Amino acid sequence: MKKTTLYKLYALIVAALLIGFDQLTKWLGSTSPIKLGETLSLIKIGNTEVLNLTHHHNTGASFGIFQGKTTMLVIVTLLIQIGLIAYVVIKKNLSKSALWALTLIISGGFGNMIDRVFKDGKVVDFIDFRFIQFPIFNVADICVVVGSALLIISIIIEEVNLRKAEKKLAKEQRGLSK
């Protein structure tokens, strides 16, 4: 088996594990004694709540946009996921960092899509950083955000390396033509 195929197989296994972990944490959050809308403070510094578990349902996308647009969100997510998976399968020279970034994005997308399809359009959120007034989120959201950041960094690094290689080649060609 070729090395790239093996990496893609590992990525598929990791994606399945991340989706499973996301669903497990959401199940634990939903079946815990914390009722919908209630908060359990985990870390406090003085009177400042730093990290809480808050049982919350989101019927929209990131930061609460597209509230109640479940069908649209499922269709768009599914199309994006199919496109990303096709890209990973078809792309021959996909860098490891881009592969893992896309694996995270795909995992997070599927994790939240599963909620939308099987939980009446609601995504279970529970991680609540109140000290920075950040929206409540979940493991799938972490995967999408970290994957997106890693993908941006990967693209920038690849572009910088490509430009360096082009400059080096141009310099070598100028040296040969003299």
Q: Among positive and negative, which fits the CA dihedral 114, 119, 123, 125?
A: negative
Catalytic pick from 22, 115, 125, 128? 125
Catalytic pick from 22, 115, 128, 141? 141
- Is 128 noted as a catalytic residue in this protein? no
d(CA 150, CA 148): 5
How far out from the chain centre does Cα 34 lie? 26
Torsion from C-alpha of 134, 17, 71, 138, nearest 10 degrees: -10
**From residue 154, how far is each of 25, 39, 106 by CA, in Å?**
29, 37, 16
- Is 125 noted as a catalytic residue in this protein? yes
> What's at 145, amino acid-wise?
V
Q: Which residues of 29-38 are buried (b: 16+ CB within 10 A; e: fewer)?
A: bbeeebeeee
d(CA 1, CA 141): 33
Q: Going by C-beta distance under 8 Å and a sequence separation of 6 or more, which residues neighbour residue 67?
A: 59, 60
What is the residue whose two structure tokens read 């997106």? 148
Q: Which residues are catalytic?
A: 125, 141
